[in-house]
Structure 1
């Protein structure tokens, strides 16, 4: 860490950048780029917390680093901030990062503060999950507490779902701990924020497009989310109050919220930017490069077009309005049925459309199409933008209708109507 684009954007704001990577996490070509760009590059085993801790300390002390900031995977975030705290180079208390990284600790905090009440129960191992589901009541959502990227999240609707759930966690080789929660019904959003000195700027709110149960793998995102002002304000206020309660001081956060009949309920939050190309959607819609804005804020400069006016009397809890959007940007992910890829049609035509910002398909003729189980196993994506929500939706539909994959002699288009893409023609 950090990722390649963070190295260049931090350097553009005047920072010396040291990078520490586990070589198993990216391709040799990608890491060669990071090595060439970074001012210092070191490799370490991220699966060994003590090795990572020692490496971080040695590099920081040798290079006289004044700041240690983690912008990567949640699995190593707490370790990095503990070292930063020991060296007085932290931007956030390690305790705040633990609250955001630990799903159970986050639920405990929300319950203590009376924020976003949700029924939940911890299950230390998989053997404890069925009884916890029974106490919460069907349907219940079961989350692996130590996995990220939608991996292993499962809606347990009735007792006979146990076999399917067991097979899912077997795939990940995961035994616990788990968090069992009541099933929150309603549209889901993510609130994108950037904090500095404990003041939280709401960069924008993104609408999530979810796939079908029981896995709910995201099939797309829309930024900005089409929301009435009162609902938008409620999402912003809940998110910033939560971040303040965590003690979060600096950097991006990505907080997922479901709007239920009883109002907004926090699903989870991470001390990082949203995945699924959400930062690119924000940039297309508002003009704000939120990745570079992190380092501009660290350098105490303006964050860009969406940067707020600083309050004259800073307080621990300050909320600024979402970035004004001048367009709508959409990402849609491709999900095709299992089988053998015979042919791919329309990809080059779709890529040439002027409103297509990115288009990636990870399938090739002769490939076996893998089943989509989480965000990492999706088959590709497209990003489009338009001056209005309707225009962006129409342009997205045009692209999805143009792409066709022939699977086992059956043409399959990428324009499903129900949220699960890959509807047969």
Structure 2
């Protein structure tokens, strides 16, 4: 689907949180009239856009009505899975550039996604579906351990648990199900090996790999991401196998335009797919790390593709970038004493604290529990990682030891 070249571009962005701000600012820099839609009347994005709509990003009919009111010629969202259904639904109704509504539904449901990848013959973990609210424990007791539990329709590491013993099943299933709209959870093979994400831009139906991101997580039990580095330090042959699998996953899910964020683990049997997001990678990976490590403005290209302009992919200018997520706790966060000083350290481009002072921080169970982030640019991945670690260790964060 494409837009008429005679229409003035007008962009509707679903979501007004901090993760959507790069798209709002980029659209403004391009001179494109922009509207923001969010259920939060005080979201940051509303004050940066030309127009604001108070509605849920997960309500397709409301999004369609707002798109018509704004006379949008393109609809998009950054870094969030579920609103992609609304993007696709409204775009189909208005004949705008987007993946199909069917593709959006499949790629935002972990069960439907893994079934589509399986049908295409792509490497993936074994899996079993159960209802975590009314679990039949006899269905899971014979499964090989360790294994992973995850909600079928959640994101941001919410509800992800590693099962190591039979005694964990009742509590872990109930916990994971609290993050699932339907209560359904997937039990999957626990894959061991380096984890990466692949940042992809799909132009004129063809997926292009912009970057492979090396990941660090907390590990057992919740696997919350703590650091991302570009470019990847994996062997060239492994990177090529990862690129091939990532592009094939986009084709299997019928992702024909826009961006994709593909998560892969390099096991001893080779790369296996974890998940595919039909949108730009979150956690500032696509909006910040990709342009810093490649010189390619992924946000601008995604906007132009959403507007039906079919942009040309520029040449990459290789450097390196790292984002390290700040966490302290459990306890009550009071303040950072030397924020300005840390922002002047080598390679540091941004130090941001997400949570307000006096916020009570618990155990790191999801990406929402992180205190903030540090973004660094360097000439090599190793240097970027080291500078980010040094900056994090230099932060003088005052905490009061208090638990939730």
Could you tell me whether the CA contact under 8 Å between 2:361 and 2:369 is conserved in 1?
no
The answer to whether the aligner puts 1:253 opposite 2:267 as a matched pair is: no
The answer to whether the aligner puts 1:165 opposite 2:176 as a matched pair is: no
CA distance in 1, matches of 2:205, 2:218: 35
**Matched residue, 2:301:** 293
Give the direction of change, closer, same or farther, for the CA distance of 1:119–1:129 in structure 2 (3 Å limit). Answer: farther
Query: How big is the shift at 1:116?
Result: 0.7
Query: How big is the shift at 1:156?
Result: 1.0
Q: Which runs of structure 2 are paired with 1:228-307 in the superposition (5 Å)? A: 228-279=235-286, 280-297=288-305, 298-306=308-316
**Matched residue, 1:373:** 365
Give the direction of change, closer, same or farther, for the CA distance of 1:337–1:205 in structure 2 (3 Å limit). Answer: same
Could you tell me whether the CA contact under 8 Å between 2:63 and 2:90 is conserved in 1?
yes
Q: 94-103 or 396-405, which moves further after superposition?
A: 396-405
Query: How big is the shift at 1:218?
Result: 0.6
Give the direction of change, closer, same or farther, for the CA distance of 1:44–1:163 in structure 2 (3 Å limit). Answer: same
The answer to whether the aligner puts 1:196 opposite 2:206 as a matched pair is: no
CA distance in 2, matches of 1:398, 1:378: 18
How far does the alpha carbon of each residue in 1:324-372 deviate from its partner, in whole angstroms, 9 at most, with x for none?
A: 52x2211111222313457745433212224111112346775533322
Give the direction of change, closer, same or farther, for the CA distance of 1:347–1:12 in structure 2 (3 Å limit). Answer: closer
Q: Which runs of structure 2 are paired with 1:290-329 in the superposition (5 Å)? A: 290-297=298-305, 298-306=308-316, 324-325=317-318, 327-329=319-321
CA distance in 2, matches of 1:386, 1:354: 9
**Matched residue, 1:133:** 140
**Matched residue, 2:396:** 404
Give the direction of change, closer, same or farther, for the CA distance of 1:31–1:113 in structure 2 (3 Å limit). Answer: closer
In structure 1, which of residues 15, 36, 42 is the aligned counterpart of residue 53 of structure 2? 42
Two-structure CA RMSD over aligned residues (Å): 2.7
Could you tell me whether the CA contact under 8 Å between 1:190 and 1:208 is conserved in 2?
yes
CA distance in 2, matches of 1:361, 1:72: 19
**Matched residue, 2:90:** 83
Query: How big is the shift at 1:197?
Result: 1.9
Q: 337-346 or 134-143, which moves further after superposition?
A: 337-346
SS at match of 2:340: helix
Give the direction of change, closer, same or farther, for the CA distance of 1:406–1:242 in structure 2 (3 Å limit). Answer: same
Give the direction of change, closer, same or farther, for the CA distance of 1:170–1:61 in structure 2 (3 Å limit). Answer: closer
Query: If each structure's helix is expressed as a fraction of its own residues, which one has the higher value?
Result: 1
**Matched residue, 2:231:** 224
Q: 253-262 or 11-20, which moves further after superposition?
A: 11-20
SS at match of 2:134: helix
TM-score for both structures, normalised by structure 1: 0.81
Q: Which has the higher contact order (CA 8 A, sep 6+)?
A: 2
CA distance in 2, matches of 1:406, 1:69: 39
**Matched residue, 2:384:** 392
Could you tell me whether the CA contact under 8 Å between 1:125 and 1:175 is conserved in 2?
no
Could you tell me whether the CA contact under 8 Å between 2:79 and 2:282 is conserved in 1?
no
Give the direction of change, closer, same or farther, for the CA distance of 1:45–1:93 in structure 2 (3 Å limit). Answer: closer
Unaligned runs of 5+ in 1: 307-323, 411-425
Query: How big is the shift at 1:305?
Result: 4.2
In structure 1, which of residues 358, 364, 369 is the aligned counterpart of residue 350 of structure 2? 358
TM-score for both structures, normalised by structure 2: 0.85
Query: How big is the shift at 1:402?
Result: 1.3
SS at match of 1:336: coil
CA distance in 2, matches of 1:10, 1:244: 28
Could you tell me whether the CA contact under 8 Å between 1:169 and 1:175 is conserved in 2?
no
**Matched residue, 1:310:** none
Q: 267-276 or 74-83, which moves further after superposition?
A: 74-83
